Structure 1
Amino acid sequence: MAPPLTTYAQLVLGPPGSGKTTYCKGMAEFLRGLGRDVVIINLDPAAPTTPYPADIDVATLVSTPEVAAAHGLGPNGSLIYAFEYLAANTDWLVAALRPHRGKYWLFDMPGQVELSTHNDAIRGLLAALTAGGGCGSRRSTSWTPPTARTSWVAVLLVSITVMFQVELPIVNVLSKVDLVEAYGDIENIEQYAEGMDLDYLLTALDEDPRLAKHAALNRALVGLIDDYSHVRFQTLSIGSKESVGALAKVIDKANGYMFAEMDAARLMAAPVP
């Protein structure tokens, strides 16, 4: 019997519009350029098309248009139903992945944040992949687009919740940094990426008259985030090879790929192509 193959993967999570699908396409192209055998798995039942050719597509099992037509559900209800249906039929996914064991998997996940923060279906899916899919090490990414200072506390809380819910090594990514100017004046993006010492956020919140009555709540939430001290963000411009390469190095360390005798050593030591 052949020895079991260790499989490394990225589980790409985040809200709609944060760049998950574009990331999967760009990261796959970059890693293939390094010689890795990359498999892209589209697990978003609401994605009618993708800019990449999906090696495995959940639409062959279930899709939100089918669910909406059959059960009269709206967009959100259809997506939750479809994803829970996938989690209840993981044999289909495990069978589809089995021929790709030992390759590098990229999972393009749905954009509904509740699936990652409040729904247990994702845990059942991950458990099935670990038990039957041959996935020896995985990595989850929580995506957040640049946003206003008054929304950043919510972004950090969502990131912490996802980290606890999926129980995987996580690399948080601040995507689309090349478009920062379009979102307004962000004085110091590194300060946001660090996710620490959030007094600057409290100052901004206190200056907003609409939030003055919530000052005590804001301080309690910021204190909670500071106490955990777990949230950091890697910045990414998917069109920059240097940016993608720097992120790939962090990911290889998070999911253990850098410790394998593969091309990871070359990636860690060599300049980004």
Structure 2
Amino acid sequence: MRYAVLVTGPAGAGKSTFSTAFATHLRVSRRTAHIVNLDPAATGDAFEYLPAIDIRELVTLDDVMGEMNMGPNGGLVYCFEYLLQNMDWLEEELGGYDDDYLIIDCPGQIELYTHHTFLPNLVRNLQRMGIRTCAVYLLESQFMEDRYKFFSGVLSAMSAMVNLEVPWINIMSKMDLVSSTSSSSDASEPRNGKRPKRDIARYLDPDPMLLVSARDGRDQQRGNDKFHDLNRAIVQLIEDHPLVSFLPLDLTSTESLETVVSHIDFTMQYGEDEEPKEPHDLDEGDFADME
């Protein structure tokens, strides 16, 4: 059985960093993992890993923008349309990886996840190839500094979950930048390089009352009363469809990463269809671990 994890989320959420740490953790755990780059706009300098499969070998955003006279957004759409028209290329690339864990690093344009059909079609093709697939959506902890920005992230995650229709995990990344120090406001200045935050649990399991309870001076300046009905409607939507909750991810903590990986394994039912190893399949290292 092959497994694939789509690593999604907005730009700057730490998708490539997470993909690298995820793959490294699996390899240290003596599991076979490969990273697939699905971002045609990625530059060599930005890579934190050497991808086993790279969409840029098929199509790049720079080439599309230059040859088709397109902007970055239209060019990215064209790249994914081209990929879907050439799924035989991806199927051939994936053909050499059996019983492997594929970590698919996706672009940061969230519209690809929220309403375009590209990734749902890609998922269906992966499933047709017999690859068990799930998705993770990364939202960086900075979003907790502003209630409105945070709930826009919650709604984006919810929209992406509905659009892709696969087993799903939401992750609050860069939690090493958040301290447990209480603060008097939601947008405190960083202390010692960390962002203090109170009631973190209300963000990890989003409490919609955070939105309707906004009554500080900044909200008044924004004319919060004007948007009160809209906020109420958003709150009602989140309460009626409580789809989104976040696992905290601190990549400086091995335990934090292990927790996230175990949730991904459980969501994808990793290993449930695997045959147990017979004694002759075990190598010396396995026996050493059993002693």
Assess same fold via TM > 0.5: yes
Identify the residue that residue 188 of structure 1 maps to in structure 2: 199
Unpaired stretches in structure 2, ≥5 consecutive residues: 180-189, 277-291
The answer as to 2:237 corresponding to 1:242 is no
Offset of 1:205 from its aligned partner?
6.1
Q: How big is the alpha-carbon RMSD for the aligned residues of Structure 1 and Structure 2?
A: 1.8
Identify the residue that residue 171 of structure 1 maps to in structure 2: 169
Identify the residue that residue 242 of structure 2 maps to in structure 1: 229
Is contact 2:127-2:133 (8 Å) kept?
A: no
* Residue 64 of structure 2, aligned match among 55, 62, 67: 67
Unpaired stretches in structure 1, ≥5 consecutive residues: 1-5, 264-273
The answer as to 2:222 corresponding to 1:199 is no
Is contact 1:150-1:205 (8 Å) kept?
A: no
Higher Rg? 2
CA distance in 2, matches of 1:255, 1:199: 32
TM-aligned CA distance change 1:33 to 1:184, over 3 Å: closer
Identify the residue that residue 7 of structure 1 maps to in structure 2: 2
Secondary structure, aligned partner of 2:49: coil
Could you tell me which amino acid in structure 2 is paired with residue 107 of structure 1?
A: I
Identify the residue that residue 18 of structure 2 maps to in structure 1: 23
Could you tell me which amino acid in structure 2 is paired with residue 131 of structure 1?
A: R
CA distance in 1, matches of 2:38, 2:203: 30
Output the TM-score relative to the length of structure 1: 0.88
CA distance in 1, matches of 2:53, 2:251: 23
* Residue 98 of structure 2, aligned match among 85, 98, 101: 101
* Residue 129 of structure 1, aligned match among 118, 121, 126: 126
Identify the residue that residue 140 of structure 2 maps to in structure 1: 145
Offset of 1:82 from its aligned partner?
1.0
* Residue 215 of structure 1, aligned match among 228, 235, 243: 228
Aligned pairs, number: 255
Identify the residue that residue 268 of structure 1 maps to in structure 2: none
% of aligned pairs identical?
36
Offset of 1:260 from its aligned partner?
4.6
CA distance in 2, matches of 1:51, 1:140: 20
The answer as to 2:39 corresponding to 1:41 is no
Is contact 1:87-1:122 (8 Å) kept?
A: no
Q: Deviations over 1:112-159 (max 9, x none)?
A: 001111111112211111113x30x21101111121112122111111
Identify the residue that residue 86 of structure 1 maps to in structure 2: 83
Could you tell me which amino acid in structure 2 is paired with residue 69 of structure 1?
A: G
Offset of 1:239 from its aligned partner?
2.6
Give the structure with the larger helix fraction: 1
Identify the residue that residue 162 of structure 1 maps to in structure 2: 160
Is contact 1:150-1:204 (8 Å) kept?
A: no
CA distance in 2, matches of 1:124, 1:206: 44
